[in-house]
Every structure is written in structure tokens, then in C-alpha cells.
Amino acid sequence: MQRTNGHVGDHPRHAATPVRATDEGPYSLLHATLRRGRFAVTAEIGPPRSATVEPIRRKARLLRDWIDAANVTDCQSAVARLGSLAGSLAVMQEGVEPVMQLQCRDKNRIALQSELLSAAALGIPNVLLLTGDHPRFGDHPEAKGVFDLDSIQLVWTARMMRDQKKLLSGRDLATPPSYLIGAVENPFAPPLRYRAERLGKKVAAGARFVQTQFIFDVEIFKLWMQDLRDLGLDRECWVLAGVGPVKSLRALEHMRSEVPGMYVPEEVVRRLRGVPSDKVAQEGLNLCAEIVQQVRAIPGVAGVHIMAFSWEDAIPEILERAGLGKRGSVDAPESVTAR
């Protein structure tokens, strides 16, 4: 359940007016791709537990011709790593557009706004804003979570800074940030009937694209997408379906027991356990490619977001198996190339 500490969103002046996704920007090449109706592909790049950006550079070079943008995670799973801002800059230097993740767990509203200003000042054109996993799930379980804002409040804050040129304090910004704002959602978290409405709050706050949790149950995801369409949310934001390969039975058990919010149905477990251990990785790639094909056919799905932790090398093969080849060029809008 999301925290609602503080007073952001409690006062009428914090009400947000939804804006159709096609009426703003474009702020980035990813935004331009989505606006043109091209099926988008993003992928996750996790920074290392090390004071170097070389692993990020290597992954960016590997994926450069295959994706529209790369998410750089922000201490994912509550594990201390190289920062998302530094990783995003390294990705850009390799010719890949970054999506900088920023989560509320470790920073208060002062630091969060500072990070958003810093990202925009350095030319990072996409931000993905989330609450973050609780510290108890990570490698410093004794750490104190901040959670001054939650993800909905942070999305609203980022939009106010961009569109109203103001900080939460009410002070004006001489130069406002410019970025495409994204959020995350888990279609599989109970109670299922409220998940679409919860995304609606993020869209009303200013999110224009959403990346979902891993999809292993396509039927539940279809129902969630139907709920989104019933609410008209498919016309207000772009949905990037979260997918990823399972490399081993050990990885499968980790997903099932240790990753917060993950749902893996029994039929998937049986399928992966039903092949020899040395064939699990190939079956995991087959499964992921099949899911990409299935979600691509669902009305309202604008693209896929591939999460292949420590297995980014597999992403091109997944895309080829799913019938999605290398990305052709998308003409950059003048407002983006001038950045």
C-alpha cells in the first residue's frame, strides 16, 4: 500500500487536470515514437555495485540498435548501487536515450526535486517515478525509508515543476525542466479490481506512459487492459507491457519468493520445470517471446518493456523471436534535437 505522508495532494491547489497524451511535447525520441503509434521497445539496465559506468556502457552498446530507450534503475530491490543519474549519462554517451528512474524511498521532497532539476539540466528527457521497494527487501534492511512522497505525489510534483514552473514550496523556477513523465503499475497486485483506477490517479497527476510489472499471466493482463479501456486511460497514457526471460529454475524461485509484487502462475512453473535443466534458459526465451507476441495483439498496448537482469545479451534474441527486429530510425523532433 502506498504511503501518503506529508500534504502534497491534500489541498485543492494540487488537483491535476488530465491532458491527452497526444497534446503535449514531444519531449524525447521515445515520446515521438509513441505519439506516432509505433510499437515501442524499452529495456532495463541495472547499474553495478561498483564505482564504474563501464558495465552500463557495454549494455547500452549491446542494445543501441534494438530499443527506443533504456531504463536506468534507481537502487532497484533496495540494493545500494551506482546512481541512476550517473548511469543515465553513461547511456546517453553511448547513443541510447535514457529513462531515469527516481524512487521515493531514499530521498525527501527537497532531494527529489533537486534530482529532477539535475536530470533535466543534463539533458535527460524521460523520467520514471516510483515509490520504491521497502528497505527490508534489500541489502540494508536496517535502513530507514524516507517515503516523504509516494509515487503519485512525485508524478504530480514533476508535472508541476515542468508545466507550472514551480517547486512544492511555491517558489518559481527560472528555467523549468522538460521531460516525459512515466510511472509503473502492477496489474497482478490484489485487489485486482482497483488496479486500473490506481493507474488513473497517476495519469491524472501527469504520467504519460506506464511500464508494468512482469507479465506471466496474459489473461489477467488482458482484463486489466480492458479496465483501462473502459476508463479511457488508453487514450491518456501509453502502456508498455513488462516482460522478461527466466534464465534458470533458481531465477524462477527467486522471482516467486523474493521479488515484491511478482506473480508467476503455476502453469508457467510447470512448463519451466518440465524441461531439462540445461534447456530452461531456452524455454525461458521462448516463453518471453510468446508473451511479447500476445501482449502486442492486445488493444491499447503501445509497446513492451523488457527486464532481463544480468542477461541483457538475450534481449536481441527475444525481439527477433517475437518478430520485432532492429529499430529503424525515428526522425527527431526539432525540439528534441535542439536539447
CATH number of 70's domain: 3.20.20.220
331 assigned to some structural domain: no
- Whether 329 is covered by a domain: the verdict is no
pLDDT of residue 332: 53
For residue 75, is pLDDT > 80?
no
In a domain, 32, yes or no: no
Question: Is residue 245 situated within a structural domain?
Answer: yes
Is 27 domain-assigned?
A: no
Model confidence pLDDT, tens digit, residues 183-230? 999 999 999 989 999 999 999 999 999 999 999 999 999 999 999 999
DSSP 102-118: EESTT--HHHHHHHHHH
In the predicted structure, residue 17 carries a pLDDT above the cut 80: no
Residue 178 cell numbers, joined:
522538460
Q: Is residue 184 a part of any domain in this protein?
A: yes
Domain annotation covers residue 31: no
Per-residue pLDDT tens for 269-296? 999 999 999 999 999 999 999 999 999 9
Q: With CA atoms as reference, report the closest residue to 91 among 147, 1, 175, 28.
A: 28
Residue 279 lies in a domain: yes
- Total domains present in the chain: 1
pLDDT at 9: 40
- CA 11 – CA 138 distance, rounded (Å): 34
DSSP classification of residue 193: G
**Residue 146: pLDDT over 50:** yes
104 — pLDDT class (breaks 50, 70, 90):
very high
Q: At what angle do helices 266-273 and 280-296 cross, to 10 degrees?
A: 140
> Domain residues for 233?
37-320
What residues does 304 pair with on adjacent strands? 41, 241
